[in-house]
A and B are shown apart, each in its own frame.
Chain A
């Protein structure tokens, strides 16, 4: 009979309409921004720089590996130098152009010092699309506690690894 399948389709629609009030499988959205979906630990958005004690002492040693490997080339690093021009293992300038960054996390993977990690914060509203989206190292610096708060499992693993490396380094000196 013509139209029977139309009615069958409408029955499916009705089942979904009513089901959306009862079943989480049929209603997967939430009313953002009043409610937000929980962010998984692995979620990545833009990078940040980790410091242990003070924001002036970043873990970053300005080795420029991330600058070299970054696919869209959005990282710019200058090494700090003392009065005599000798290099110090700290970045003088560490800029990330957030307008160019594509959140691929390759900088995180290649960093040998666990100094750069991916943030969970995804909203960066600004009224200046040039300087407002250029993050310098003060804007990028986050404490290790913050890293622990967003990625507890990964941060604990990193801390254990860094502690083991420090112990290994300390041994031959004795």
Chain B
């Protein structure tokens, strides 16, 4: 606990006074105010909190001396809800965890169930999963860059450029799955709809054009003097703290730890692709921004390889896989994937029944958020917003 100076002691005296009877009040003068900290509540409806999230911040002047995250406003009982319904019916609910990346959420869940029930996935479906997964990574990272810049005060322009590119990818998602964000696309043993040649053509075009957009986006902001001075050296997350706190994803890699589940676990067919893992050195906000930009370039490289290797025709669903009445053998599984925000894991226990006995999500946003106070201490209040934006959270996943 931080020593809050005389403030606590003075409060304690008042509380210890008898409740009934005459009371004496002390009035603080200007000199007393100078010694006192200011506690403010940022959120839950603050526009920069990316949802309904509250930060209880204690300030000394403009410097943060304590920060307490308060969340749970968006709690929807996802885990318990999934335990009351069939294995299949939980898939559309996983869309609503991290609603920017519904494809990877689906993937994490169906991968866990496939491992639990021993369901094989056809070759073409594996490639489709990689393609939509990497498209999701592009959507998430480019939007994060836009939101981060909006938090910095670059209102509108970079965010809308990012959303323009996201729109092109969401159009593809809509064409193949029927919905732009709540895709509900993957099933145990494959995917629901095949990629049409036209959709593949559109993805080819994305893979071709996206690097040019990234060049333009970087010319717009990456070396901008204001961005550099606001981001560099701000919100440093030391390497040991990142590892000890269980931080994953681009945040961990920005602190210089080479840990990417696509390389470590090689789930799906990621062992067939050549790609590099960008690492940061300083672990500040700017590193987290640049790691994501560089990751998008690697995602485009994976997309190109997947588009070149994908089989022309083939099954997209394992014919043996059951849609309804799935009853995996009793057992437990923890399965994880590298979602755009970090390690998204599902821990499932089956008792052989029609619904999961235990269903637990390891949400990357939530665990990455635990180091928020450590990054913010000693920083200015205006930087809290920037640091918070660089964590890349979605409250749907934090609160579940």
Residues on A lying within 8 angstroms of B by beta carbon are 2-3, 5-6, 8-9, 11-13, 15-16, 25-26, 28, 40, 42-44, 65, 69-71, 102-106, 109-110, 118
Contact = CB atoms under 8 A, between A and B. Distances in A.
B157 A13 contact: yes
Contacts of B88: 69, 106
B245 interface: no
B224 A5 contact: yes
Contacts of A6: 224-226
Nearest to A27: B164
A43 B193 CA distance: 12
B167 A28 contact: yes
Nearest to B157: A13
B334 interface: no
Interface in B153-178: 157, 161, 164, 167-168, 171, 174-178
A11 B221 CA distance: 11
Q: Which of A9, A104, A105 has the most CB of B within 10 A?
A: A9
Secondary structure type dominating chain B contacts: helix
Given A9-B221, A43-B179, A104-B184, 19 more contacts: A5-B223, A5-B225, A8-B219, A9-B219, A15-B216, A26-B164, A40-B175, A40-B178, A42-B176, A42-B193, A69-B324, A71-B90, A71-B92, A71-B93, A106-B88, A106-B89, A110-B323, A110-B324, A118-B178
A105 B225 contact: no
A44 B179 contact: yes
A70 B225 CA distance: 53
A12 B216 contact: yes
B4 interface: no
A110 B325 CA distance: 11
A102 B92 contact: yes
A69 B193 contact: no
Nearest to B183: A104
Interface in B174-212: 174-179, 182, 184, 192-193, 209
B220 interface: yes
Contact of A105 (B90, B161, B184): B184
A28 B85 contact: no
A44 B226 CA distance: 44
15 contacts: A5-B223, A5-B225, A6-B226, A8-B223, A9-B221, A12-B216, A42-B175, A42-B177, A44-B179, A71-B90, A102-B182, A104-B182, A104-B184, A106-B92, A118-B178
A5 B220 CA distance: 8
B321 to A, nearest CB: 13
Given A5-B223, A9-B219, A69-B88, A105 B178 contact: yes
Nearest to A102: B92
Given A69-B89, A104-B182, A110-B324, A40 B174 contact: yes
Contact of A3 (B90, B161, B225): B225
Contact of B178 (A25, A26, A42): A42
Nearest to A8: B219
A103 B167 contact: no
Interface in B87-119: 88-93, 95
